[in-house]
Structure 1
Amino acid sequence: MSRVLIRVVWLTLISGLSLQGCTPPKPVRLGTPIEGYSHTSAAINWFSVNGGGGPNISPYSGGGKQNCCASLPVKWHPGLTVVVEWEKDPDPYASANWPPLGTDGYRAAYKLHAAKYTRHRAVVPVARYERLGVVNVHFLPCNQVAVTAGLMMPGTPKYPYHFPQKMQEPATCPES
């Protein structure tokens, strides 16, 4: 074999090996949309999952409105948790009896009302998923939270949780 041919083969081999390093690796984590559901009479003014913001939620409602994004592993693993933080308005319809909007009386009533908001933080296990999808956060009585992140949507048979849309707060909550 001639020296030129050997050099060409050698350079082709080296070039081919170096190009293999250019193939991007598959992602380990992805950003995925966040959706919320309030199963209580309280409004969720805001919430976040691992720092990514979710939409505000009216009492006994949710779904249909997504914000971006929570970073989660592409593959679920045992022990997977997320940090959920939220602000809750325990009396979201109080403004019906306030003075007119834009008045000093309204501002004073709002200030008194906002002082009753409560803030919460929980480290929550994520239900098992086969393929990463929308992060669904369920706000339950007693400041409990449940989280899913798969492709199944609430109300479907394979969805991991089947909470009623309206749940009542018990007279006393168990201590966490």
Structure 2
Amino acid sequence: MSRVLIRVLWLMLISGLALQGCTPPKPVRLGTPIEGYSHTSAAINWFSVNRGGGPNISPYSGGGKQNCCASLPVKWHPGLTVVVEWEKDPDPYASANWPPLGTDGYRAAYKLHAAKYTRHRAVVPVARYERLGVVNVHFLPCNQVAVTAGLMMPGTPKYPYHFPQKMQEPATCPES
């Protein structure tokens, strides 16, 4: 073998060994599932966190259904916020008195009802987390929202929020 070829092979071997010691960098952000909770009598028709879609939520319910995903930093930092957007149905049980499904009367009733949906957007601080987990979005009276993203589950002692499942809207909401 020629000396040049031996040097090239030797260089390739050393380069290959040097690269084996390298590990890929840890991710700075990850996609994490989104779950929601409505603490009010309104239904949440849809919502998103940083444009990642969450499931629809019935009044006074939530949890158990997750959608994918919201991009969040692996490590929490002060000032961390997310953008939450949602559509709210203030009277989710109105259809009980509508004409039969599929009729012109039903379609007209639905159109009038859907005109009362409200859309909202809020920049919300994310509660401190040690390890990134499911993004939990709590919809509260007066179009307020609270967000967590850790491994603690609602109802556990270390969970940052302890909202009652059923909260009533006040007669007047404070201006934000």
- Per the TM alignment, residue 22 of structure 1 is displaced from its structure 2 partner at its CA by 5.5
- Per the TM alignment, residue 24 of structure 1 is displaced from its structure 2 partner at its CA by 1.6
Q: Distance in 2 between matches of 1:163 and 1:45?
A: 21
Gaps of 5+ in 1: none
Q: Secondary structure at the match of 1:147?
A: strand
Q: Distance in 1 between matches of 2:13 and 2:161?
A: 54
- Per the TM alignment, residue 23 of structure 1 is displaced from its structure 2 partner at its CA by 2.7
- Per the TM alignment, residue 25 of structure 1 is displaced from its structure 2 partner at its CA by 1.1
CA offsets 1:108-155 (integer angstroms, 9 cap, x no match)? 000000000000000000000000000000000000000000000000
Q: Secondary structure at the match of 1:84?
A: strand
User: Cα distance 1:8–1:104, how it changes in 2: closer, same or farther (>3 A)?
Assistant: closer
Q: Distance in 2 between matches of 1:104 and 1:5?
A: 83
> Residue in 2 aligned with 1:132?
132
- Per the TM alignment, residue 11 of structure 1 is displaced from its structure 2 partner at its CA by 2.5
TM-score by length of 1: 0.92
Q: How many residues align?
A: 176
> Residue in 1 aligned with 2:39?
39
Runs of 4+ in 1 over 3 A off after TM superposition: 1-10
CA offsets 1:19-62 (integer angstroms, 9 cap, x no match)? 15863211000000000000000000000000000000000000
Q: Give percent identity, aligned residues only.
A: 98
Q: Distance in 2 between matches of 1:158 and 1:6?
A: 63
Q: Secondary structure at the match of 1:24?
A: coil
For structure 1, which segment, 135-144 or 13-22, has the greater mean C-alpha deviation from structure 2 after superposition?
A: 13-22
Q: Secondary structure at the match of 2:151?
A: coil
**Match status 1:88 vs 2:85:** no
- Per the TM alignment, residue 6 of structure 1 is displaced from its structure 2 partner at its CA by 10
CA offsets 1:48-79 (integer angstroms, 9 cap, x no match)? 00000000000000000000000000000000
CA offsets 1:85-123 (integer angstroms, 9 cap, x no match)? 000000000000000000000000000000000000000
Q: Secondary structure at the match of 1:37?
A: strand
Q: Secondary structure at the match of 1:136?
A: strand
